[in-house]
């Protein structure tokens, strides 16, 4: 490359759905800005999608549209392959093929990276290529760069993430409008915030995929989705939200990663957090990630975690970063997680039975003397002490709700205590419990 003008950076886009459409719009809208930033044009060289008319409607010339993604990723004129198909296959095979052909890659595919990231990042590292994945965690929130670069000088101890906008929107509606889960889910679906089949979101799996990447970025170890305890929000009731408020808490679906001197906690579940905490105020479809470092202390990063333009903005940030490296003729690429991939080991994940926290417990108990004492006795025999009690509705109903908040205890003891309470038929139905993170 010589002279004042550098050669174009040529992009192949695989998948032109919601996010891919946003990327096309940004490339066309900000063409002049990107050229000023790089000193070279960013050109859309190919778009692979079966929906040819949809792509053409975005202003993409017909000659750039193809149905053959496999042929596109090996074309010698392509510099960066942007994979936005989603899912495991053919996305994995196409990314590996692109890397083998010497192409840098950008993806928003958190499910693929959570399961196959080790293979993909190792191949990229072996070939001196980049895999950008800013859009895979937190949508438009620049958390990948923040952890990999801005916070690299510190040692991270914990990461708490509200990383699924669908669940956060549903819980916000339940909290603010006093409706049950089913009604809040239907409202989210009407607004386009929840899929027709919302299981991936509401059962916590999407958050678990993102937590895999957060753990790698924060602690430098690899963890698979199967290692993450995952529980969704489908069993949260309006009663739980009301009692949480009375106790001074809000309920959020949290992705939690902690480094206890090498023993990693990695879990996704509904969590009660103090109403005064910054995370408690993150409502609607917004995401937030709260990081604890040894030196810096606590910092929080919040913004829109999904949607066409927020996610496309994160994709473009990766494209521009990689383009700078290519134009500088540098073979060095930033380590994907801030750690050399060949030195990253699998995480030793702490079993949930060993996790220690406080608990909210809800029992439907017979309204007669001695029941409260019997519950407390069983809890105490398994190492759980009671911090506070709420008892409602005495005098008319045969059963009444009994709400307890415990002090810190291992989950093993809690599960054994609840099983014994059910076995002895002290309460009328299965007890409900929600973990509390008091000291985030």
- The pTM assigned to this predicted structure is 0.91
Name the 3-class secondary structure at 125: helix
Helix axes 18-29, 31-38, angle to 10 degrees: 70
Determine the Cα–Cα distance for residues 236 and 271; give it in Å rounded to an integer: 10
The predicted-structure confidence for 164-186, as pLDDT tens digits, reads as follows: 999 999 999 999 999 999 999 99
What count of residues does the chain have? 440
The predicted-structure confidence for 241-277, as pLDDT tens digits, reads as follows: 999 999 999 999 999 999 988 889 999 999 999 999 9
Secondary element (H or E) of residue 310: helix 308-327
Determine the Cα–Cα distance for residues 383 and 417; give it in Å rounded to an integer: 9
The predicted-structure confidence for 217-249, as pLDDT tens digits, reads as follows: 999 999 999 999 999 999 999 999 999 999 999
Domains of the chain: 9-140+308-343 (3.40.50.720), 143-304 (3.30.360.10), 352-436 (3.30.70.260)
Cβ 109 vs Cβ 86: under 8 Å: yes
Would the pLDDT of 4 be above 80? no
Neighbour-count burial of 261, counting CB atoms closer than 10 A to its CB (0-12 exposed, 13-18 middle, 19+ buried): exposed
Report the chain's mean pLDDT, rounded to a whole number.
92
Secondary element (H or E) of residue 113: helix 110-127
Contacts of residue 29, Cβ cutoff 8 Å, sequence gap at least 6: none
Confidence at residue 333, expressed as pLDDT on a 0 to 100 scale: 61
Q: Quick one: average pLDDT of 350-377?
A: 90
Cβ 78 vs Cβ 105: under 8 Å: no
Query: ω into residue 223 within 30 of 0, thus cis?
Result: no
Catalytic residue IDs: 210
């Amino acid at each position: 490359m010589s002279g004042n003008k550098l050669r174009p950076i040529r992009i192949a886009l695989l998948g032109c759905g919601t996010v891919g459409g946003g990327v096309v719009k940004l490339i066309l809208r900000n063409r002049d800005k990107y050229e000023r930033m790089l000193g070279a044009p960013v050109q859309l060289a190919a778009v692979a999608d079966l929906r040819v008319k949809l792509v053409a409607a975005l202003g993409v010339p017909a000659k750039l549209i193809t149905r053959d993604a496999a042929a596109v990723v090996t074309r010698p004129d392509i510099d960066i392959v942007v994979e936005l198909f989603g899912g495991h296959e053919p996305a994995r095979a196409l990314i590996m093929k692109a890397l083998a052909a010497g192409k840098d890659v950008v993806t928003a595919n958190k499910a693929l990276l959570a399961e196959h990231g080790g293979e993909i990042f190792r191949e990229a590292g072996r070939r001196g290529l980049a895999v950008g994945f800013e859009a895979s965690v937190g949508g438009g929130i620049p958390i990948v760069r923040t952890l990999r670069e801005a916070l690299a000088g510190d040692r991270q101890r914990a990461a708490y993430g509200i990383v699924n906008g669908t669940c956060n929107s549903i819980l916000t509606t339940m909290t603010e409008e006093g409706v049950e889960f089913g009604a809040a889910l239907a409202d989210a679906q009407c607004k386009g915030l929840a899929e027709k089949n919302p299981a991936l979101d509401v059962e916590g799996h999407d958050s678990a995929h993102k937590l895999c990447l957060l753990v790698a970025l924060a602690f430098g170890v690899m963890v698979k989705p199967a290692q993450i305890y995952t529980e969704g929000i489908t069993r949260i009731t309006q009663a739980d939200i009301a009692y949480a408020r009375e106790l001074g808490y809000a309920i959020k679906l949290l992705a939690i990663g902690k480094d206890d001197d090498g023993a990693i906690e990695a879990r996704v579940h509904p969590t009660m957090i103090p109403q005064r905490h910054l995370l408690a105020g993150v409502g609607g479809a917004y995401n937030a990630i709260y990081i604890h470092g040894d030196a810096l202390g606590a910092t929080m990063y919040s913004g829109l975690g999904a949607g066409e333009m927020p996610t496309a903005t994160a994709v473009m940030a990766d494209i521009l970063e990689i383009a700078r490296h290519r134009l500088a003729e540098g073979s060095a690429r930033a380590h994907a997680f801030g750690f050399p991939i060949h030195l990253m080991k699998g995480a030793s994940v702490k079993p949930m039975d060993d996790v220690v926290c406080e608990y909210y417990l809800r029992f439907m108990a017979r309204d007669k003397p001695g029941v409260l004492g019997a519950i407390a006795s069983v809890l105490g025999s398994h190492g759980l002490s009671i911090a506070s009690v709420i008892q409602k509705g005495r005098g008319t109903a045969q059963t009444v709700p009994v709400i307890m908040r415990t002090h810190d205890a291992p989950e093993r003891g809690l599960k054994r205590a609840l099983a014994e309470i059910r076995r002895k038929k002290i309460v009328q139905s299965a007890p409900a419990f929600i973990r509390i993170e008091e000291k985030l």
